Structure 1
Amino acid sequence: MFRLPPINAWSSALIAALIGFGGTIALVVQAMRTLGASVEQTGSAVTALCLGIAVAGAMISLRLRMPVVLAWSTPGAALLAATAPGLSWPVAVGCFLAAALLMVGLGAIPALGRIAERIPASVASAMLAGVLLPFCLGLFRVGTGDPALVALLVGVFVIARQRAPLYALLLVLVAGFILTLARGDVAHLPSGPIFGALLPIWPQFDAQTILSVGVPLFLVTLVSQNLPGIVVLRTAGYVPPAGKLIAGTGMMSVLMAPFGAHAVNLAAITAAICTNDDAHPDRDRRWVVGVIYAGFYLLLALFSPALVRLFLALPPEVIAALTGVALIPALTGAIDAMLSAADERDAAILTFLATGSGLAAFGLGSAFWGLLVGFVALAAKRWLRNARREA
């Protein structure tokens, strides 16, 4: 017989959806605008992301009978927002599609999966930390002109991280909105549709841009989203088929990329909310939480253009400050991971500095050069070590 899920299943799914969407939507909007998307194309991108999360999450949860919670790639959005302005939207969509195809190949071909497992987590995490650092520093640069805003957001963040860590980013977002509304700083909302619409763009593939943006997007999504998401499911007592999950989310990214979705992937932090005993007492029926979560994202997809225009009406300083606060936990995790292996710290630090510097040469961005510096440093260290042993 059909049984209604308990109330805590609904509340856990709702909280996870609100935190996942509200905590980082400002960053996604900023990233798409940096890449040259119009207001309508940004709305299409967010609609496609929410729709991909909803459809793939519900299908996989039903198929595997486990609460598979999906999200967009927050580190990937940070990487895209750090891209030098001037990239055309079709070329950006080509990068999204290339990164998604790499993810499908990784999940579908075991040999590629074994290669991916050999990517040093310290170097990949260092690249992510270097990408995130300028955004977090930007939070305090805003304080030069608006110290009250920065003081409020940082104060709410510090207190909430101690008292209600799961809701910290959501509370920061609410505080930022309240202060902006109280000051009357919200601009007139741009005109546009209320309900979600998908606007297809024919992708253009540029080899330099794919190397500079697409490959790093694939790597940060793999290391910072998909792999931790699999660990969360295993911690909750499930046995997730890693290859199928990575290939499945990658395929949904392929389908949604032409509409502007940069990456649909496994969630980590919000997944923990939906996979523990508090979400549903029966682990065998906890998959319904993943389906409910997907339903909430379907609603977000329905109204995503209106939500995008709401964020576009905020002053750029507020968007920059909210983005900086939202990325502090991700930066903390990345720095911790990049320093975890003592014998790889030199390479990790070099990667972090090269990426954070904003280095750009030969049409390739700092994320590519950061990875290259890190890999070369590791290879040189291992070659010298082996030469010393042979001597």
Structure 2
Amino acid sequence: MSLRLPPIPAWSAALIAALIGFGGTVALVVQAMRVLGASVEQTGSALTALCLGIALTGGFFSLKLRMPVVLAWSTPGAALLAATAPGIAWPAAIGAFLAAAVMMVVLGAVPALGRLAARIPTTVASGMLAGVLLPFCLGLFKAGATDPLLVVLLVAVFLLARQRVPLYALLLVLVAGIAITLVRGDVAPLPPGATFGALTPVMPAFDIRTILSIGVPFFLVSLVSQNLPGLVVLQAAGYTPNARTLIVGTGLTSVVTAPFGAHAVCLAAITATICTTDDAHPDKRRRWVVGILYAGFYLVLALFSPALVRLFLALPEAVIVTLTGIALIPALIGTMETMLSVKEDRDAAIVTFLATGSGLALFGLGAAFWGLLAGFLALGGKVLLRRV
């Protein structure tokens, strides 16, 4: 039997999806790990574990299910982590990652919980996410006070690319940002650390306040903004994925990789669309090979993850803030559209958005928790008033 190599479009689709998924938001992941107190070595371990989880689990499911199962790290989750008030110890953050992963596994394994999750108002969850994302997008323009030329140039690249080649916009912004920094000679010496992939385990510490403040909102954000849209992408491409299998599988992967610093491995949404269309492979029955190729590229990224982390840690703070803010603009647009999509829920969604965006922190619990609580109370009050 002759060996059939995948067509060129399959290779290009997988490569582009991997580069966009990794390059578009890696600065945000590095920033989140820094906020949580991870060292250079621990940040490199986190990125290595994320890439390995994405590659091995995605490749396994693509081969077993014969469909292009494309995974990614949780970008909205990384934004939530980066917005966390400093002071949380890295072991406690690991404990919150594990708790969120276990919640995802239990949700996928218990049908009744899955049906309950389907009833979570996406308007309120999106309001919380929009409140998390807003400070980063505002920080983009605040960076203009220290480096106006950088902000103007990168925003211009973003806007032009969104008009002409929207899929590559974030990747082009990343390339432009690094190029401008190199031309100006603003790159600091690379911090010491490993060049090739390495895994550094950390014993988790389970702190109830950290789990409530980070773990629970993180779980909801990853579910509503990554896993559920990822299932919709596969369905839109003509596949019939088993939601329980994929949610439990990605949750178990997150459980295994969390002790090495990985915050979450989820189904991809935006990058998955690149790998699931006719442009990626003309034969739907053979399109699963795109998922295998995508997994292979992530194995390569896992190999060099620590070196990439060191590169981003050497960039000026203004560059990281600007890249992060621009990378989250598309996500902010999408979440605000969903937040306001149901007219009856707009008041509750706006309350959630404002409470989260305010940065409110009480009793050791962060703004994401209080935003969700405010939104659910607003919805509950509306229901009670209808019954009176």
- TM-score, normalised to structure 2, is 0.99
- For 1:265, what is the secondary structure of its paired residue? strand
Q: CA deviation at 1:145?
A: 1.4
Q: How far apart are the structure 1 equivalents of 2:226 and 2:350?
A: 22
* Deviates most, 108-117 or 131-140: 108-117
Q: Deviations over 1:271-304 (max 9, x none)?
A: 0000000000000000000000000000000110
* Deviates most, 172-181 or 345-354: 172-181
Q: How far apart are the structure 1 equivalents of 2:193 and 2:374?
A: 45
Who is 1:250 aligned against?
A: 251
Who is 1:373 aligned against?
A: 374
Alignment of 1:353 onto 2:363: no
Q: How far apart are the structure 2 equivalents of 1:201 and 1:145?
A: 37
Q: Percent of aligned positions with the same letter in both sequences?
A: 75
- For 1:303, what is the secondary structure of its paired residue? helix
Q: How far apart are the structure 2 equivalents of 1:15 and 1:74?
A: 17
Q: Deviations over 1:218-244 (max 9, x none)?
A: 000000000000000000000011111
Who is 1:137 aligned against?
A: 138
- For 1:209, what is the secondary structure of its paired residue? helix
Amino acid at match of 2:102: L
Q: CA deviation at 1:192?
A: 1.4
Q: How far apart are the structure 2 equivalents of 1:361 and 1:353?
A: 15
Q: CA deviation at 1:318?
A: 0.4
Amino acid at match of 2:103: L
Who is 2:8 aligned against?
A: 7
- For 1:149, what is the secondary structure of its paired residue? helix
Q: CA deviation at 1:355?
A: 0.1
Unaligned 5+ residue runs, structure 2? Answer: none
Who is 1:312 aligned against?
A: 313
Who is 1:128 aligned against?
A: 129
Amino acid at match of 2:249: G
Who is 2:283 aligned against?
A: 282
Q: How far apart are the structure 2 equivalents of 1:180 and 1:201?
A: 34
Q: How far apart are the structure 2 equivalents of 1:293 and 1:101?
A: 26
Who is 2:97 aligned against?
A: 96
Alignment of 1:45 onto 2:46: yes
Alignment of 1:269 onto 2:270: yes
Who is 1:260 aligned against?
A: 261
Q: Deviations over 1:22-52 (max 9, x none)?
A: 0000000000010010000000000000000
Unaligned 5+ residue runs, structure 1? Answer: none
Q: How far apart are the structure 2 equivalents of 1:191 and 1:375?
A: 46
Q: Deviations over 1:106-152 (max 9, x none)?
A: 11110110110111000000000000000000000000111101101
Who is 2:198 aligned against?
A: 197
Who is 2:301 aligned against?
A: 300
1:144-183 equivalence runs, <5 A: 144-183=145-184
Alignment of 1:234 onto 2:230: no
Amino acid at match of 2:188: A
After TM superposition, the runs of 4+ consecutive aligned structure 1 residues lying more than 4 A away are none
Amino acid at match of 2:4: R
Who is 1:86 aligned against?
A: 87
Q: How far apart are the structure 1 equivalents of 2:9 and 2:119?
A: 40
Q: How far apart are the structure 2 equivalents of 1:272 and 1:234?
A: 11
Q: How far apart are the structure 2 equivalents of 1:39 and 1:22?
A: 18
Q: How far apart are the structure 1 equivalents of 2:12 and 2:230?
A: 21
- For 1:36, what is the secondary structure of its paired residue? coil
CA RMSD, Structure 1 to Structure 2 (Å):
0.5
Q: CA deviation at 1:204?
A: 0.4
Q: How far apart are the structure 2 equivalents of 1:296 and 1:25?
A: 15
Who is 1:68 aligned against?
A: 69
- TM-score, normalised to structure 1, is 0.99
Who is 2:55 aligned against?
A: 54
Who is 2:119 aligned against?
A: 118
